[in-house]
Amino acid sequence: MKSFSIGLAGLLATAALQPVEAAETENYTVIVGGRNVGHLKADTEGARTIIAYDVKNNGRGPTIAETITLGPDGLPTAWTIKGATTFGGKVDERFALKGRKTWTDSTGTASQTVTEPSLYVGQSASPWALGIYARALLKDPDGQMPALPGGALRIEKGETFSVAGTGGPVEVTAYSLSGIDLNPTYFLLDREGRLFGTIAGGGVTVRKGYEGEDARLRALGEKMSAARYAAIKKATAHDYGAPIRIRNVRLFDPKTQALTAPKSVVVFRDIIAAVDSADAPGTPGEVTIDGAGGTLVPGMMEMHGHASEDDAVLNLAAGITTIRDMGNNNAEMLAMIERIESGQSAGSRIVPSGFIEGRSPFSSNNGIVAENEAQAVDAVRWYAARGFPAIKIYNSIKPEWVPAMVAEAKRLGMHVMGHVPAFSTADAMMAAGYDELTHINQFVLGWVLKPGEDTRNLLRLTALRRLPALDLNSAAVQRTIGTIAEKKVAIDPTMVIHEAFTQTRDGEVPPGMTDYLGHMPIGTQRDAKKAWVDLSAPGDDAAYRGAFEKIVATLRMLNDRGVMIVPGTDLGGAFTYHRELELFQKFGMTPPQILKRATLDMAAYMDMDQRLGSIEKGKLADFFLISGDPTKDLKAIKAISMVVKDGTVYFPSEIHPHFGIKPFAAPPKVTVPAA
């Protein structure tokens, strides 16, 4: 695969870009899933550019108005950003250079004396900012500059090629920008250094008139990303080519929900060859890993992912060896699964779910979007023919289509789960044959919505502020809870995303991130301290806080009634999955019960327990090593020193620096026999 990194001399030779004399107006189209979902318009007069950016996909998205003034060096001297974030949180961000660089964002106000050229990174900036960063970095001798509020930005050049559109052929060059967030951003500049497009989040933002290049640009982004993850795999995967004996460890046994006596575990290729006594003699040629009295835990299962390769790697480093994907671009997901299974990329195994949405102005442009019932049923067949074990039904599916979809899925032996389609209820979906309900908000909305209210937009989340007034002992509530228990329907509550939505406040470390946010790159830390939702109306702050308490109380009722509560995040997993498991304690589960739920229970739930879910002879070698006892303190799973997946050994301390993360634990001692 071609590398997208070049040497400094090559970078400088190709970066003879003069200060941009931007066109008076530049227009861009935002495309997700082949559909236009937004726009960016930039009007420039002299040194000042006024930007309007609006995206609405899946009934939500940012609306941003920016004004940027550049100095003679091409760096911002004044910048205002106003509007709303994806979920409606208010944005009022300002930057100014007047002797000192001063800025105000969601974390507060700060300033810095100007000592060297540096780039302020807009916390809520539109993609237009990438062109400003890139032009500054390409003029810098080493292609990098200090960033404000912290860290540094770096640019690397990719390939140059020609694109076609109504404005005629344009020569563009691909770049990656990295240094302050977990992952690089991929984008393109034309020969004059103007922004041509960006590639991110399964979609593109592209110059108007060149929308036909959408698929090609997404393929380029996938190629650049795949090259990065191939390099990470090469640098971090340890395939020793010999039996591996892990000594001096205790095992978490999900069947007994307790730790075993000290053991040694032998792995050969991808299989657990033996679970032996602690003092069992080794054999010639073995690799020995000293567990130092720590605990081996079976690989955990993230049950609500929308996986990308960065998710797959970071989940692996977090002890999550399996991700159930709940909806994705089908072609890109299948290609990613192939790269992971063939060993090109490192990552958790991915179990795909067939995402089926209905066509509406609020559609999520993912998976298959159906125009009618026949197409929706055909989508079920399409997924079954490609080995998908489950379908996920989404918001804009018409409720009257669901019985036919469920019947076809059950005929084909598929699991059925999903959101509650707009204008329906959890009770109706359970009556139609759902095996699993997705998100706790989807479950409770039927108790607080008024007839005719549309949940294809942000109302499906903002209506949560009505929960504090709800009587959980009311007949309607108890009827729904009785139905889910009687029908043995599972629920995937994604508690962590609801905690983040209702509890995050500007300038504060979110409650779910207190244990790890300080290890993250500066950009991730900064973005975390931003309220998700508009809290400006009187009483809303308290209402959202109270909503989460009511969610916990509802889940306690469900758990007490024996409902299967499935651990998933919808937030990328990894560190947020650890928090999801912690939150399960709030509704009454103990750490041993939670670990069993995350491992053997979920393996059995997905019919994978013959090969996964526990550390036993003959099963796949999927487990992770920690120093503490997670049956006493669940937080012990956050400091992982080693992960084994399909017999390949990874040390998170080697993976995390590729994402700008400060490691949490040192690797164990490994002894490799002399050749």
Per-residue pLDDT tens for 55-98? 999 999 999 999 999 999 999 999 999 999 999 999 999 999 98
Closest C-alpha to 648, from 248, 83, 239, 137: 239
C-alpha to C-alpha distance for 93 and 79, rounded to whole angstroms = 8
- Specify the pLDDT at position 9: 35
Cα dihedral angle (615, 619, 622, 623), rounded to 10 degrees?
A: 10
Compute the C-alpha angle 162/164/165, nearest 5°.
Answer: 145
pLDDT at 8 > cutoff 70: no
Predicted pLDDT at 91 = 97
pLDDT in tens, 223-245: 999 999 999 999 999 999 999 99
Q: What is the pLDDT of residue 2?
A: 31
- As given in the structure block, the two tokens for residue 171 are 């020569």
Distance CA 147, CA 153 (A): 6
The span from the CA of 647 to the CA of 252, in Å, is 18
Provide mean pLDDT across the span 608-626: 98
Dihedrals φ, ψ of 483, to 5°? Answer: -65, -45
CATH 3.20.20.140 fits 300-609, yes or no: yes
Q: Coil, strand, or helix at residue 658?
A: helix
User: Per mean pLDDT, which of 4-8, 19-23, 194-198 is the most reliable?
Assistant: 194-198
Cβ neighbours for 265, distance < 8 A, ≥ 6 positions apart: 245, 246, 249, 251, 272, 274, 275, 276, 296, 615, 623
Widest Cα–Cα separation across the chain:
77
The DSSP H or E segment spanning 13 is helix 8-13
* pLDDT band at residue 29 using 50, 70 and 90 as cut-offs: very high
CB atoms within 10 A of CB 34: 13
Place 6 in a pLDDT band, splitting at 50, 70 and 90: very low
Token pair in block for residue 75: 């760096």
Distance of CA 433 to the CA centre of its chain: 29
Res. 23 pLDDT band, cuts 50 70 90: low
Distance in angstroms (rounded) separating the CA atoms of residues 625 and 641? 6
| Mean pLDDT estimate for the chain | 94
| Per-residue tokens: 575 | 């560190």
Residues 6+ apart with CB under 8 A from 636: 295, 626, 627, 628, 629, 630
Contacts of 523 (CB under 8 A, 6+ apart): 121, 151, 180, 181
Q: Nearest to residue 384, comparing CAs of 402, 368, 395, 369?
A: 368
| Residues 273/285, Cβ–Cβ less than 8 Å | no
Q: How far apart are CA 104 and CA 331, in angstroms?
A: 41
State mean pLDDT over 622-628: 97
Q: How many helices, marked H, and strands, marked E, lie in the chain?
A: 18, 32
Nearest CA among 387, 378, 431 for reference residue 408: 378
Q: Which amino acid is at 18?
A: Q
pLDDT per residue as tens digits for the range 39-59: 999 999 999 999 999 999 999
pTM of the model: 0.94
| CATH class of segment(s) 240-299+613-675 | mainly beta
β-strand partners of 168: none
Nearest to residue 221, comparing CAs of 196, 197, 200? 200
Cα–Cα dist 82/94, whole Å: 9
Can you give the pLDDT at residue 570?
97
The percent of residues above 70 in pLDDT, for the chain, comes to 97
For residue 477, with 0-12 CB atoms within 10 Å meaning exposed, 13-18 middle and 19 or more buried, which class applies? middle
Q: Is 60 exceeded by the pLDDT of residue 344?
A: yes
CA distance 357 to 366: 8
Instruction: Give the alpha-carbon dihedral of 197, 199, 205, 207, to 10 degrees.
Output: 20
Annotated domain spans of the chain = 8-235, 240-299+613-675, 300-609
d(CA 305, CA 571): 7
Check residue 642 and give its pLDDT.
98
What phi and psi values does residue 498 have, to the nearest 5 degrees? -75, -35
The pair of structure tokens assigned to 318 is 């977090």
Model confidence pLDDT, tens digit, residues 458-515: 999 999 999 999 999 999 999 999 999 999 999 999 999 999 999 999 999 999 999 9
Is 603 exposed, middle or buried, given 0-12, 13-18 or 19+ CB atoms closer than 10 A? buried
Question: For residue 69, which phi and psi values (nearest 5 degrees)?
Answer: -115, 130
Residue pair 57/456 in contact (Cβ under 8 Å)? The answer is: no
- Compute the C-alpha angle 647/653/654, nearest 5°: 70
Mean pLDDT, residues 563-569 taken together: 98
How confident is the model over 409-453, as pLDDT tens digits?
A: 999 999 999 999 999 999 999 999 999 999 999 999 999 999 999
CA distance 531 to 87: 9
Tokens of 342: 């063939």
The CA distance from 326 to 544, in Å, is 26
- Residue located via tokens 């000042």: 48
Cis check: omega of the bond before 149, within 30 degrees of 0: yes
Report pLDDT digits (tens) over 122-177.
999 999 999 999 999 999 999 999 999 999 999 999 999 999 999 999 999 999 99
